[in-house]
Amino acid sequence: MKLAKLFDIDPEIFIYAAGKDVRLVKYAANEISNYLKDGLLDGMSPQSLFSITGIGNTTLTLAAQLNEAVYRKYELEKDNQALRKLNADLKALLQSSA
């Protein structure tokens, strides 16, 4: 959310979900078309526009994949903590019954 506010970007970009790549491509295409309408990209060759769009799409996709990996890491850390606690409780239970 902080990055979304800082760069004035749709916060959905930073949240990974199924079908995200299609939405990212649509978002990038809309942004480029807005820049074209505003004349911000006047004078640029079609090849340059294509390259910029490709770089943007790749960046957005990688950002979404990174966020998914960070979230999965968080989930695994929580699972690991729970398993360590269960293991410690089981050891204590076994030692107290012996």
DSSP string across 58-90:
HHHHHHHHHHHHHHHHHHHHHHHHHHHHHHHHH
Indicate yes or no: pTM above 0.85. no
Average pLDDT, the chain: 79
The reported pLDDT for the residue numbered 31 is 78
Token pair listed for 45 = 């060759």
Statement: residue 75 has pLDDT above 70: yes
Dihedral Cα 90, 95, 97, 98, nearest 10 deg = 140
Q: pLDDT digits over 16-62, tens only?
A: 555 666 777 677 777 777 887 888 778 888 788 778 877 877 887 78
pLDDT tier for residue 4 given thresholds of 50, 70 and 90: low
C-beta separation of 4 from 10 below 8 A: yes
